[in-house]
Structure formats: C-alpha cells, structure tokens
Amino acid sequence: MKHHERVPLIPIARGEGVWLYDFEGRRYLDGISSWWVNLFGHNNLRINRAISDQLGKFAHTMLAGCTHEPVIELSERLSALTGGKLGHCFYGSDGASAIEIALKMSFQYWRNCGHSGKDRYISLQNGYHGETIGALSVTDVRLFKDTYAPLLRPSEQMPTPDTRRAEPGESPRDFAFRCARSLAAWLEEHGDETAAFILEPLVQCAAGMAMYDAEYLRQARALCAQHQVHLIADEIAVGFGRTGTFFACEQAPVTPDFLCLSKGLTGGYLPLSVVLARPEIYQAFYDDDIAHGFLHSHSYTGNPLACRAALATLEIFGEDKVIESNQGKAKAMREATRAIAQHAKVKNFRQCGMICAFEVETDDPHFGEHFREQATAAELLLRPIGNTVYFMPPYVIDAAEIEVLASRTLKIIDST
C-alpha cells in the first residue's frame, strides 16, 4: 500500500493480444501472462465467443443434483489428455481450492481404505501451492508462511532438485538422483504415516522459476508407488504447455495420482480449477455410506462460463497446433535472449519451454521494485521474484514482440 503512494498502480482499460492498455493509451507487453494465467492473449475472439454463447444459455447452476454439457465435455477432454489414466474430475474455483481438494481427498482415500494413520504431507523446499491454510501448510515460502505459522499444519520439505543448487560439475540429472535418495530415505522411515507428496513438476515457479531435471519426477513417481504414498502433481502454473509439453509430467513421463490444474485452464479468463484423479481413488469413495463420500463443495464448482472458456482454450490448442508452434517461439525466445544470457551481470540463464529466467547480480535490496518501474516505463509488464527476472509470455507473442521484450529488458539490466 505504501509502495503505491510512490509508484501508482497501472489502471488497465483494455487488452489486445499480448498488450494491455491504460486510459491514456500507453501500452504494456504482458511478459508474465498476468501472473501465469493468460495463454492466447487478451480479448481473444474465440474465447470471447464461447463465453458469450454460453451467456445466452445460462451462466451458472449448481453441480449438485444437476449437470451440464460444458462440464461433462471438459471432464472428458481433460481426462483424454491424460490418456484416460486420470479418469475423474473434481472442480474448484481457483488454484488453492484445487490443492485443498487434493490434500483432503488423499487423506480420505487412505482412511476409507483403512489406513487412517496416513495423515502427513511432504513437499519440496521452496515449493508453492497457494495461500489458503491447507495449501500454505505444504508451501515453503517463508515470506508468505511465517506470519501464519501457528495456524498451519506442519509438513516436511524434501531437498529441492533446483539445478542452481547442484555442486559444481554435478549434472542436473545426477543432482536429481541425489535429491531422490533423500526422498527415498525419508519415505523409508515415514512412508506409512504419509498420505501424499506434492510437487510442482519441472519448474517451481514462485521459487523464482527454479528448474529441475525430469529424472526427479521419475524417481519420485517410483518411490511414492513403492511406499504407498500419493503423488500430487501441482501443474497449476506449469500445465497447458508452459514447459513445452501439454503437461509437464509428460516429460518424465509419469502419471501422478492427482493432477491439479487452474491458471491456464480457462486461457486466463475466468477462475476455475480441477483435480483429476485415478479411477482407484474414485472407487474408494464409491460407497453406500455417505461418510465415505467426498463431502466438499464450492458454490461455483464447474461454472459453465468458465468451462466454456476452458473448452475454447483446448479447441485453440488443437486447431492451431499450439504445442508444435510453441517450439518455434521457444527457439525465438532463446535466440532473442542470447545477449541477456551472456551479460556480465546475469547468472543462471535457463529456459524450459515458454519460460525463461535468470538472476541479476545487484546490491540493490529493492531490485525487484526498481526493475519493475523501469520495465513499466519501457512498456513491459514484468515482475521479478527477488533478483530473478523471468519471461512467461502469452503464446500469441510474435517474433517482433519477443524482440521488444528481450531488447528492452537488456537495456534495463545495463542501466541497473
């Protein structure tokens, strides 16, 4: 609040593609997809049309005792994207609610199966899973967590395979194996008390775009199966093509027990989240005893407008062959950022699909704020995490816009 007395908020009047416009006609390239949600630009006609069409039918109905075409179609299409392995969908309204659903469902699965002692959760160091009480309990970001510590349930953090932490000369893959050995040791001792291991596959975004080798996912999948611990893949940020594949888990490849999706799910238009689960999990709740059911609901669960936005988003993935065409864009991003990667003040330049990130060496304790101000002046909407600057643009970004993003960022690095 105080910061904005000095640096005013950016009042957004409208958006078009990767650009946001204020009321004076100034524009800002949305280099972070409005916090990792937007996929196909602002004011996307195809998504607009789908929402308008649904609006002409009905905007919302409860999903208890009622159902509707958009939610059924979306569930079937999402399940098909997992090769049918995650055959059931449970909807929430935003990312954190999906995490709460997965955590509760995992615990109750074990309880319904007669293992009520499995009530602990493990997650990765520096992991981020949202900010409601349950999600914050498995999050490991001190700034968000410390104040509420007395309210939170303790959870255990496993060493992060974040490649920046590897020993000099140690390959990302070897480091992944080393971190997996710590996970194995923990599970060996505490597997029977543990319900689930939750992680962000391939990129821990809020940790500052910490990237790691897919080998860790393979190891984690095998170890969780061996110790009867659920693997919850939080793909809220990395799903929908951000890492180069539709789901990040495909790069291992692994199938988690629970897959949490939100953010890009509706193309960045409307709040919606979903937890996909394996059929065995569904079966454990399929019972005459109502107490064995999953008694969890949100009023706007499966909102039809949001589902139609999500269906339009999936439509675009198919029609425009987005995953394939993003390979060219990712390459263009790599080339356009070469001078940044080689800059004397830049460390750890890394890229995973449509995400680029690097650290800037600086003595400025307010680097993030100052960088942001200069970016705004240069028509870029960027928001560093600490001294980590990253790009996660909407996929509609073109070569010229990639160039604008990279060259203007380079100038800011030079001047800081």
Ligand X SMILES: *Cc1c(COP(=O)(O)O)cnc(C)c1O
Q: Are 308 and 126 in contact (CB under 8 A)?
A: no
* C-beta closer to ligand X: residue 96 or 356: 96
Rounded least distance, CB 249 to ligand X, Å:
13
Rounded least distance, CB 93 to ligand X, Å:
8
| H helix intervals, 87-227 | 95-112, 133-138, 142-145, 172-190, 215-226
User: Which residue, among 62, 25, 15, 58, has the nearest Cα to 298 in the 3D structure?
Assistant: 62
Rounded least distance, CB 96 to ligand X, Å:
3
Rounded least distance, CB 134 to ligand X, Å:
11
Binding mask 175-214 for ligand X (x = CB under 6 A): -------------------------x----xx--------
Quickly tell me which residue has 């064995």 as its tokens. 292
Binding mask 88-127 for ligand X (x = CB under 6 A): ------xxx--x----------------------------
Q: How far apart are CA 200 and CA 114, in angstroms?
A: 29
Rounded least distance, CB 139 to ligand X, Å:
8
> Considering Cα of 315, then 320, then 325, then 330, what sign does the dihedral take?
negative
Rounded least distance, CB 277 to ligand X, Å:
17
* C-beta closer to ligand X: residue 215 or 234: 234
C-alpha dist (Å) from residue 189 to 244, 372, 415:
36, 46, 52
CB-based closest residue to ligand X:
95
* C-beta closer to ligand X: residue 129 or 408: 129
* C-beta closer to ligand X: residue 130 or 208: 130
Considering only residues 339 through 398, tell me which ones interact with ligand X, judged by CB under 6 A: none
Q: Using CB under 6 A, count the residues that bind ligand X.
A: 15
Rounded least distance, CB 339 to ligand X, Å:
29
Rounded least distance, CB 72 to ligand X, Å:
24
Q: How far apart are CA 22 and CA 352, in angstroms?
A: 31
Q: Are 235 and 260 in contact (CB under 8 A)?
A: yes
What pairs with residue 89 in β-bridges?
Answer: 276
* C-beta closer to ligand X: residue 248 or 340: 248
Binding mask 44-83 for ligand X (x = CB under 6 A): ----------------------------------------
What pairs with residue 88 in β-bridges?
Answer: 277
Considering only residues 207 through 266, tell me which ones interact with ligand X, judged by CB under 6 A: 234, 236-237, 262-263
Give, in degrees to the nearest 5, the angle at Cα 225 between 121 and 133.
Answer: 15
What pairs with residue 267 in β-bridges?
Answer: none
* C-beta closer to ligand X: residue 38 or 374: 38
Q: Are 378 and 411 in contact (CB under 8 A)?
A: yes
Q: Please, what's the b/e burial string for 231-248 (b: 16 or more CB within 10 A of its CB; e: otherwise)?
A: bbbbbbbbbbbbbbbbbb
The SS3 of residue 308 is helix
* C-beta closer to ligand X: residue 95 or 112: 95
User: Which residue, among 93, 81, 123, has the nearest Cα to 106 in the 3D structure?
Assistant: 123
Single out the residue of 128, 175, 300, 371 in contact with ligand X (rule: CB under 6 A): 128
* C-beta closer to ligand X: residue 230 or 408: 230
Rounded least distance, CB 189 to ligand X, Å:
27
Interface ranges with ligand X (CB under 6 A): 94-96, 99, 128-130, 200, 205-206, 234, 236-237, 262-263
